[in-house]
């Protein structure tokens, strides 16, 4: 159990560092005070990429069998595309320019992937999916094109939010730089605590950029609190008798685009 918890912490941290500047290591579940109070799963990862993995999400959105088949096809195509190309090398060894280029290309592929998943869904399902994203996605959710448009964020506001996100991401990378197998549980715990503080401060700064009406709209869009099953994040192997883990291996990891 201890190793599982440690692995989960490291997994989430690496997702925060390697995926995009908007990916954030969040503190424990669902706090509401201070900033947006985003908690829950994997930082800025859009829940659309969990549609093929999470039975709980499928149930929440009332996904039909026909939709499941279409979602599975999209996930398989995304996985095949990753195997045929993508970035190589260590993210932490890249220059700022290389990181920026990688992140921009990932952003474009991510938006394309989200669009494909949303085209399978009904309008009310799309709305709920975006609400779940707002609960856990931090600034990444706010500046996503669809949500920014719905909140009527100005170009200046989006630019300010992106700056906050990028600066926070840079600080976060520095915290986790050099963290590896030789790092102790105390090292990871301290880094996680500091990352949570950074995230909270960024959320509060981002909140200050919104009007009172936009803040109310954010809360309305979030809807009822949703939390993923931790087993949904069992992306890799690792054996054990976890039935859900084995099911995930069969479905494949479509969390990256």
pLDDT score recorded for residue 89? 58
pLDDT over 90, % of the chain = 46
pTM attached to this predicted model: 0.70
Tell me, yes or no, whether 233 lies in a domain. yes
Give which of 60, 85, 52 is closest to 223, Cα–Cα.
60
**∠149-154-158 over CA atoms, to 5°?**
85
| 14, pLDDT greater than 80 | no
In a domain, 13, yes or no: no
The pLDDT score that the predictor gives to residue 119 is 97
Residue 162 structure tokens: 């992106």
Average pLDDT of span 203-213: 95
Give the residue-averaged pLDDT of 23-47: 46
**Number of structural domains found in the chain:** 1
The answer as to whether 227 is a domain residue is: yes
* Residue predicted with more confidence, 176 or 251: 176
Specify if 5 maps to a domain: no
Mean pLDDT of the region 175-198: 88
Within-domain flag for 215: yes
> Helices 212-222 and 123-136 sit at what angle, rounded to 10 degrees?
110
Is position 34 within any domain? no
Q: Are 233 and 13 in contact (CB under 8 A)?
A: no
Task: Give me the pLDDT at residue 217, please.
Answer: 95
CA-based nearest residue to 223, from 120, 108, 93, 136: 136
Question: What is the pLDDT, as a whole number, of residue 241?
Answer: 39
Q: Is residue 148, in this structure, part of any structural domain at all?
A: yes
Tokens 């999400």 belong to residue: 57
Return the higher-pLDDT residue of 4 and 195. 195
Mean of all residue pLDDT scores within the chain: 77
Lowest-confidence range among 15-19, 34-38, 69-73, 98-102? 15-19
Name the token pair of 49. Answer: 């990429």
What's the token pair of residue 23? 């990916």
Q: Which of 22-36, 105-119, 185-199 has the lowest mean pLDDT?
A: 22-36
pLDDT tops 90 at residue 206: yes
Asked if 232 and 53 count as a contact pair (C-beta separation under 8 A), the reply is yes
Token pair in block for residue 253:
């990891």
**What is the predicted pLDDT for the residue at 92?**
67
> pLDDT category, 71, cuts 50, 70, 90?
very high
Q: Which is higher by pLDDT, 243 or 130?
A: 130
User: Quick check: 173 pLDDT over 80?
Assistant: yes
Whether 147 shows a pLDDT value over 60: the answer reads yes
**10 inside domain:** no
- In this prediction, residue 177 has a pLDDT band, given cuts at 50, 70 and 90, of confident
Location of structure tokens 């800025």: 44
**Residue 213: per-residue pLDDT:** 97
More confident residue, 128 or 21: 128
C-alpha distance from residue 157 to each of 28, 131, 206 (Å): 28, 20, 9
The closest alpha carbon to 41, from 61, 18, 15, belongs to 15
Distance CA 197, CA 75 (A): 34
Q: Is the dihedral of CA 87, 23, 147, 99 positive or negative?
A: negative
> In a 10 Å sphere around its CB, with 0-12 CB exposed, 13-18 middle and 19+ buried, how is residue 176 labelled?
buried
What residue numbers bound the domain in which 215 lies? 41-168+199-251
């Amino acid at each position: 159990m201890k190793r599982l918890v440690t692995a989960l912490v490291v997994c989430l941290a690496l997702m925060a560092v390697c995926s995009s500047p908007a990916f954030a290591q969040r503190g424990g579940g669902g706090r509401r005070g201070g900033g947006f109070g985003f908690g829950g799963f994997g930082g800025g990862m859009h829940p659309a990429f969990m549609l093929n993995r999470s039975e709980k999400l499928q149930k929440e959105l009332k996904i039909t069998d026909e939709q499941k088949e279409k979602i599975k096809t999209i996930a398989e195509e995304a996985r095949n595309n990753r195997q045929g190309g993508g970035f190589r090398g260590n993210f932490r060894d890249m220059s700022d320019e290389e990181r920026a280029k990688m992140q921009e290309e990932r952003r474009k592929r991510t938006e394309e992937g989200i669009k494909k998943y949303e085209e399978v869904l009904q309008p009310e399902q799309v709305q709920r999916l975006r609400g779940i994203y707002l609960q856990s996605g931090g600034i990444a959710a706010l500046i996503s094109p669809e949500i920014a448009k719905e909140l009527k964020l100005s170009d200046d506001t989006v630019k300010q939010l992106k700056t906050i996100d990028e600066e926070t991401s840079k600080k976060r990378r520095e915290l986790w730089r050099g963290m590896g197998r030789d790092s102790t549980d105390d090292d990871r715990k301290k880094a996680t605590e500091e990352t949570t503080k950074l995230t909270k401060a960024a959320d509060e700064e981002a909140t200050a950029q919104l009007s009172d009406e936009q803040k109310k709209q954010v809360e309305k869009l979030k809807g009822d609190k949703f939390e993923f099953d931790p087993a949904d994040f069992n992306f890799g192997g690792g054996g054990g008798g976890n039935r859900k883990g084995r099911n995930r291996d069969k479905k494949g990891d479509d969390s990256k685009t």
